[in-house]
Copies of this chain bind each other. A is one copy, B any other.
Amino acid sequence: MAVTTPARERTRHEIVRQAMDLFQAKGYNATSLQDIATAAGCSKATVLYHFHGKPAVLAAVLEPAAVDLAALIRTVDGLPRAVAQEIAIQQFTDLAVKHRGVVQVVQDILPVIDEIPEISGLITDGMQLSGFLAGSDDQLERDLATLAINGLLGECRHPGERTDEELRTLCDTALRRLLKRA
């Protein structure tokens, strides 16, 4: 039952892969469907056949990260606050490293994020994550958590200039210094 048409999935996957590279390199706004089609070795029309518009391509690019983020939220939801904060820090660091290529794409779309309903779930989860990372209802702590996430979105870039382990150290250090005062 897991047998899907190989050709279809192959083309679709290649489009997503190339789109991710282009979104990282030039940003979402500056990347055209033609750019994606050329990189994927197919026509613009083929891209539009698989995805109904550029926002749908973006949603597909972000999907793996969105799935992991949603799982993170489900894991920590309901736990005692201090425990939730610690686990959120650890798992978000994992997520940032695992999806480092995807994460920075989000930064480019922040100003127009509300106009892309395809990814509204990701936004909702992101705001919830801020709450768990903050570890309290204090507004300053919540703002610092959001700041940490924003900062990390930018720092996940430059894939060739930083190893995964270095990125992990950076994420972990930043979150703990900003939020746990340890």
| Chain A interface residues (CB < 8 Å from chain B) | 26-27, 29-30, 107-108, 110-112, 139-140, 143-144, 146-155, 162, 166, 169-170, 173-174, 177-178, 181
Interface of A is mostly: helix
Residues of B within 8 A of A107 (CB): 107, 110-111
Alpha-carbon distance between A29 and B167 when the two chains are bound, in angstroms: 29
The winner among A30, A150, A166, A181 for most chain B CB atoms within 10 A is A150
Residues of B within 8 A of A112 (CB): 26-27, 30
Residues of B within 8 A of A162 (CB): 143
Contact between chains at A30 and B111 (CB < 8 Å): yes
Residue in B closest to A149 when the chains form the complex, CB atoms: B151
Alpha-carbon distance between A149 and B150 when the two chains are bound, in angstroms: 10
Residues of B within 8 A of A181 (CB): 177
Alpha-carbon distance between A169 and B141 when the two chains are bound, in angstroms: 11
**Residue in B111, B146, B154, B177 whose beta carbon sits within 8 Å of that of A144 in the complex:** B177
Alpha-carbon distance between A123 and B139 when the two chains are bound, in angstroms: 31
Name 13 A/B residue pairs within 8 A (Cβ), A-sorted.
A107-B107, A107-B110, A107-B111, A144-B173, A144-B177, A147-B154, A147-B155, A149-B151, A150-B153, A150-B154, A151-B151, A177-B177, A178-B178
Contact between chains at B144 and A174 (CB < 8 Å): yes
Residues of B within 8 A of A147 (CB): 151-152, 154-155, 170, 174
- Nearest Cβ on chain B to A1's Cβ, whole angstroms: 41
